[in-house]
Chain A
Amino acid sequence: SQQGEEDPQALSIQEGENATMNCSYKTSINNLQWYRQNSGRGLVHLILIRSNEREKHSGRLRVTLDTSKKSSSLLITASRAADTASYFCALSNFGNEKLTFGTGTRLTIIP
């Protein structure tokens, strides 16, 4: 079934460095979304990129989408301790309502 697979599963970097997370998927999508989840908390919508878009920016976030490779990346620049969280890609397919979440990348920012 369609789901995103993030890699790496876990990432630890020093504060101030950039963090890159990747998401791969198998079938056509309508759009791809990235969410953040702090430990034991809700999901926060970060950014949505449509299938006809290649790149989007929002503040320190940059998302790319390559539909030919069926992959997306999320780049967080100038990381901060508050960016420590799990990051999930979520896929929206044509013709249905649901989001299909990936397994997530656990990002730890070391002060």
Chain B
Amino acid sequence: EPEVTQTPSHQVTQMGQEVILRCVPISNHLYFYWYRQILGQKVEFLVSFYNNEISEKSEIFDDQFSVERPDGSNFTLKIRSTKLEDSAMYFCASSGDREIYGYTFGSGTRLTVV
């Protein structure tokens, strides 16, 4: 069964550093998303991406964050100048016909900012 692949599974970074979280969505999907889950809290929407541009973003997704689809397969989330409160599990998701099949999530990247 097709999967959404995320790398790395765990990343530790120093406060103030930049990190890039990587995702390979399912190949024939057109819609891409990033969500995050702070430990013990609910899953929160960050951004959606369609047709090579951001289609929607949340209040969390400020200038510190950016997304990119650098080629036909990868989808990245860049977090600049990381803060302690950015520590969370970050999930990438993709969907084809989301009205029928919902979303396929990756296994997540656990980001720890120290």
Q: A42-B106, A45-B105 are in contact. Are A50 and B99 (CB under 8 A)?
A: yes
Q: How far is the CB of B109 from chain A (nearest CB, A)?
A: 10
Q: Are A45 and B31 in contact (CB under 8 A)?
A: no
Q: State the CA gap A35–B43 with chains docked (Å).
A: 11
Instruction: Digitize B86-114: 1 where CB-to-A-CB distance is under 8 Å, 0 elsewhere.
Output: 00010101000011111111111010000
Q: State the CA gap A50–B104 with chains docked (Å).
A: 18
Residue of A whose beta carbon sits closest to that of B54: A97
Task: Determine if B81 is an interface residue (Cβ-Cβ < 8 Å).
Answer: no
Q: State the CA gap A3–B35 with chains docked (Å).
A: 15
User: Which one of B42, B55, B104 lies within 8 Å of A45 (CB-CB)?
Assistant: B104
Q: A42-B91, A97-B33, A98-B56 are in contact. Are A104 and B42 (CB under 8 A)?
A: yes
Chain A interface: which size bin? Answer: 20 to 34
Q: Are B103 and A45 in contact (CB under 8 A)?
A: yes
Task: Determine if B66 is an interface residue (Cβ-Cβ < 8 Å).
Answer: no
Q: A33-B102, A48-B101, A50-B99 are in contact. Are A43 and B91 (CB under 8 A)?
A: yes
User: Which one of A40, A48, A97 lies within 8 Å of B55 (CB-CB)?
Assistant: A97
Q: State the CA gap A88–B45 with chains docked (Å).
A: 14
Q: State the CA gap A90–B93 with chains docked (Å).
A: 14
Interface residues of A in 83-99 (CB under 8 A from B): 88, 90, 92, 96-99
Which of B98, B100, B106 neighbours the largest number of chain A CB atoms within 10 Å of its CB?
B98
Residue of B whose beta carbon sits closest to that of A103: B42
Task: Determine if A69 is an interface residue (Cβ-Cβ < 8 Å).
Answer: no
Q: Are A31 and B104 in contact (CB under 8 A)?
A: no
Interface residues of A in 1-59 (CB under 8 A from B): 3, 30-31, 33, 35, 40-45, 48, 50
Instruction: Digitize B35-68: 1 where CB-to-A-CB distance is under 8 Å, 0 elsewhere.
Output: 1000000111100101000011010000000000
Q: Give every chain B residue within 8 A of A43 (Cβ-Cβ).
A: 43, 91, 93, 105
